[in-house]
Amino acid sequence: MQAFYGARGYKTFSALLGLQAGVFGCLLLAGVLARPAAGDGAWLQAVPAWLAAALVAAFMVKVWGSLCEAAFCLHLLPWPGLLKYQLRPLLQLAPVALVATGALSAAGAAAWLVRTPGIVVGLLGLLSSLLCLLQVRMVAAQVGHHEALKRQELQRLRLRDGEAATQRLADSLAAAQGVLSANPFQMRRGTLLADLPSPAWHERAGFAWAAAFEQAYEAIREEALRVCRQPRLDPYAYPGAVDGQWNVFWLVRDDQVVEEAERQCPATLAALRQVPGFPCFREAHFSILQPHSRILPHCDESNTWVTAHLGLQIPPDCGLRVGRETRQWKEGEFLFFDTSYQHEAWNDSDTPRVVLLFDFLHPGLSETEREFFIKTNSPDLGTDQAPAHDPQLPGREAAQGT
């Protein structure tokens, strides 16, 4: 998504248009080099090339259509018109020109007539692509000038009011310029509930049950360290998101308390039962990030869940970034955050980092919305059966965490 935002977006559009100009340039060259066929079956040899050209043209038409919204966000307001009246017709004509060239060649037409379709369509497509590329670069230059003025004003305010007062402005401008490595924005993946207040970090004071939960820290920690010493722990399956080793001991899975956890972790489950909506969690487990391991930057689905981490064994050189802010765990204390923002975690120490992790429904959901997400989080979704645990929906006060 970042590839189509701000300065990176203009570079992406420029690269795509440059590649498209190259395709039309090749069509133009093919037209120039075309000549009457030497044999009756020569045109059959060109059929794979025609099909390939048709598929490439269809792919590019689909790509440009999908990028109309991105073009609008990049101030490329005439883009729908350019797509409708220039790029799409010329892309559709490209395979037609190749077929026409082959047919004329097989029919023994004059050399200039054989060359005409490829030359005409290739030249028009090349010019159209270059004109679109020129427009993108002109808009990028105008936006760049405006961004420079914003940076000047930001510098003035920073000198007057300090770094802290201007940090959000600085991060937003850096993201637009493509120089901020941490994406500060919510990622659109899965279901984002409209108008739901969903900051990257939720403060502990917003969850009234958190203080009583933390009082059980010692018992929870004892249980966690005991089960984490077991020789076989499940790896957390998140392909592409783990560099090193991330293991878990499951407590709640598919809205069901895990039988082994019921036997080995009674204090932990007693504490989890204080959380509104239990056991309708996206998941709950002891999360063990092994030494010198990282959970790479990624985002999860939906802003309707809040993720809780209770620090249990926190060695030095560990950290958690959500959005643009990095925080450190503390043993016996909660961190709450929204995983629909880009987030990552690391353990650069020689000791496993252990936290109690669970995802619970956002306290800002209405009772109707909570019922919807409880049902759709159930493994029985798509059947006529109700969720196996038949959860009791908390009242409005409980849902607000007060």
Looking at the fold, whether 95 and 207 belong to one and the same domain comes out as no
Q: Of the candidates 264, 272, 190, 278, which has an alpha carbon nearest to the alpha carbon of residue 227?
A: 264
Count the neighbouring beta carbons within 10 Å of the beta carbon of residue 322: 25
Flag residues of the chain having pLDDT under 70: 1-5, 37-46, 69, 178-190, 378-402
Tell me the torsion sign for CA atoms 69, 72, 77, 79: negative
Any domain includes 171 = no
Q: For position 366, which CATH number holds?
A: 2.60.120.330
CB 122, CB 25: distance < 8 Å:
yes
Q: Which of 128, 160, 192 is the last residue of a domain?
A: 160
Give yes or no: residues 155 and 212 share one domain. Answer: no
Could you give the count of Cα atoms lying within 13 Å of 175 in the half-sphere of its Cβ?
Answer: 17
Query: What is the DSSP code (8-state) at residue 388?
Result: T
* 214 and 153 both lie in a single domain: no
> What is the β-pairing status of strands 242-243 and 293-298?
antiparallel
**343 close to 323: Cβ distance less than 8 angstroms:** yes
Please check whether residues 216 and 354 belong to one and the same domain: yes
Q: In 3-state terms, what secondary structure has residue 4?
A: helix
Plot region of 207 (φ>0 → left; ψ -120 to 50 → alpha; else → beta):
beta
Please write the tens of the pLDDT for every residue from 280-298.
Answer: 899 999 999 999 999 998 8
Verify that 122 and 268 share a domain, yes or no: no
pLDDT of residue 331: 97
182 inside domain:
no
Q: Are 237 and 346 found together in one domain?
A: yes
The pLDDT tens digits of the residues spanning 27-57 come to 888 888 887 766 555 556 667 777 878 888 8
Q: Under DSSP, is residue 248 helix (H, G, I), strand (E, B) or coil? A: strand
Strands (E), 59-210: 201-202
d(CA 65, CA 182): 29
Q: Is the domain of 96 the same as that of 229?
A: no
- The reported pLDDT for the residue numbered 40 is 56
The residue type at 47? V
- Domain assignment present for residue 192? The answer is no
Query: 3-state SS of the chain: helix, strand, coil percent to 5?
Result: 50, 15, 35
pLDDT digits (tens, 9 = 90+) for 203-223: 999 999 999 999 999 999 999
Regarding whether 359 and 225 lie in a shared domain, the answer is yes
Classify residue 185: in a domain, yes or no: no
The DSSP string of 331-362 is: BT-EEEE-TTB-EEEEE-SSS-EEEEEEEEE-
Query: How many Cα atoms sit within 13 Å of 85 on the Cβ side?
Result: 5
Residues 140 and 236 in one domain: no
Q: 261: Cβ–Cβ under 8 A, 6 or more apart, which residues?
A: 249, 250, 251, 252, 268, 269
**Whether the Cβ atoms of residue 358 and residue 275 lie closer than 8 Å to each other:** yes
Residues 105 and 212 in one domain: no
97 occurs within a structural domain:
yes
Give the separation between CA 236 and CA 246, rounded to whole angstroms: 6
Evaluate whether residue 190 is within a structural domain.
no
Instruction: Check: CB of residue 37 under 8 Å from CB of residue 43.
Output: yes
- Decide if 173 is inside a domain: no
Task: Tally the domains of the chain.
Answer: 2
Please state, in angstroms and rounded to a whole number, the distance separating the CA atoms of residues 366 and 398: 11
User: Is residue 38 situated within a structural domain?
Assistant: yes
Virtual torsion, Cα 100, 105, 111, 116, nearest 10 deg = 10
DSSP strand pairing (353-361 vs 246-253): unpaired
Range of the domain at 55: 2-160
- 233 and 347 together in one domain: yes
Do 339 and 242 fall into the same domain? yes
